[in-house]
Amino acid sequence: MAKSYDLIVLGSGPGGYVAAIRASQLGLKTAIVERENLGGICLNWGCIPTKALLRSAEVFHNMKHAADYGLAAEKISADLDAVVKRSRGVAKQLNRGVTGLMKKNKIDVVMGDGKIVEKGKVAVKTEKGEEELTAKNIIIATGARARDLPFAKADGKRIWTYRHAMTPPEMPKKLLVIGSGAIGIEFASFYNDMGADVTVVEMMDRVVPVEDEEISKFLEKSLKKQGMTIMTGAGVKSIETSAKGVQAEIEDSKGKKASHDFSHVIVAVGIQPNVETVGLDELGIEPDERFHIKTDAMCRTNVEGIYAIGDVTGGPWLAHKASHEGVIAVEAIAGGHPHAMDVNNIPGCTYCHPQIASVGLTEAKAKEAGHDVKVGNFPFIGNGKAIALGETEGFIKTVFDAKTGELLGAHMIGAEVTELIQGYTVGKTLETTEAELMNTVFPHPTLSEMIHESVLDAYERVLHM
């Protein structure tokens, strides 16, 4: 006998579980289907446990520089197994938290592989057999997985995906990271701080290529200063593994090929959506050119009653975008009038050392879009709190439309910028101009004062530089 619901959510990541909670709040009888762990990749194998790893690396880095703060620390060492154990403990705690939220909101959790067998019907393969669920509306929130390179299939021993890199069988001595997006750069930063010799290969002409060009240049300079080898405009042509390590043939930006030896490789060249077993073909759900699911502004697919959110849809592929889409989809299902997602108001954060954060258009993209721009920059070295913290590396850049004063974008690199970016994100959502930001009082001494100074600099009114 099929169990009947108002809504079935496939996948319990940040998009899926938030959608289920909002549905329950709106009075919809809801079931969520999950094949592995509540909380999905983000809570268990992505955003959260990686930040726990990076926090350990940050503390280790600061311990090694204790003398800079008038302190003494002797015989500093790192226990990789203990660092990983702490990270897994953080993930487990949050997994329990999501389990509690499902119970609190009276959401039925069905563990197993779910497939939409026809409109309004989901079959779930569980440990006890197949279970059938029905609902007028279904949200697909099945996420994505790491994309393999044809010649570098992950084996968990020498060639790793992000998942292997979070629970390494051993500490890499000489690490190759293929790809310099957020995942690649975060792991490069972690292992470099933990003592590995790290090389990053990026096929584009700069690291973190989605970021503003000034940010990319600053980060590359910083990473090289930290001891990393950075190869941009380069590509890995082949990889051979052995019991002793990895041999990679790398073609540099000048077209010269050479063999390099490494102990391990992390492949971080993007993601592919988990769509193969959901039942899309049978239903006629349309994919885009990258095989992600096409949706409209309310997260609806081309098939009535079926919605899609998160990494299974188009970018940017960020947990907070997925959560917000979950709310939009559910409120649309419930007959509300949610605001459509504006991707220009979605902040992006990379938790390397130094951190990167941004929202809106880069300077180049703003000009491409036809804007005459005003740009302000302010360095960390000009901020009292940054100097007191011993964190003087970095800057904040703000981009305005010169004619209207519209805030077009903001780009940051430095300590805790992943916390600072929300000030600009709120401003963009409220359609702020330079006037509101100039007239806002920022507390002193804080890093946030650099936001104010960057805005002032765009209009030749900077105070502390």
Torsion angle in degrees (nearest 10) through CA of 273, 279, 282, 284: -50
Let me know: does 146 contact 159? Beta carbons within 8 Å: no
Provide the 10 A C-beta neighbour count for residue 341: 18
**CA 196/CA 97 separation, integer angstroms:** 34
Q: Tell me if the bond preceding 287 is cis, omega within 30° of 0.
A: no
Instruction: Tell me the pairing of strands 229-232 and 264-267.
Output: unpaired
Crossing angle between the packed helical segments 14-25 and 319-333, to the nearest 10 degrees: 30
Is residue 292 classed as helix, strand or coil in its secondary structure?
coil
**CA 61/CA 53 separation, integer angstroms:** 12
**CA 69/CA 370 separation, integer angstroms:** 48
- Best CA proximity match to 119, nearest among 334, 304, 335: 304
SS3 assignment for 362-397: CHHHHHHCCCCEEEEEEEHHHCHHHHHHCCCCCEEE
464 catalytic per annotation: no
**CA 185/CA 198 separation, integer angstroms:** 10
Query: Which alpha helices (H) appear in 226-347, and where do they start and end?
Result: 280-283, 319-333
Handedness of CA 399, 400, 406, 408 (dihedral sign): negative
Q: Which helix (H) or strand (E) segment is 201 a member of?
A: strand 197-202
Let me know: does 377 contact 395? Beta carbons within 8 Å: yes
- Best CA proximity match to 128, nearest among 115, 116, 106, 110: 110
Rounded to the nearest 5 degrees, what angle is found at the Cα of 110, between the Cα atoms of 108 and 114? Answer: 130
Q: Token digits for 53?
A: 């790893």
Which of 264, 339, 444, 452 does the annotation list as catalytic? 444
Tell me the Cα Rg of the chain. Answer: 23
Q: Which residues are catalytic?
A: 444
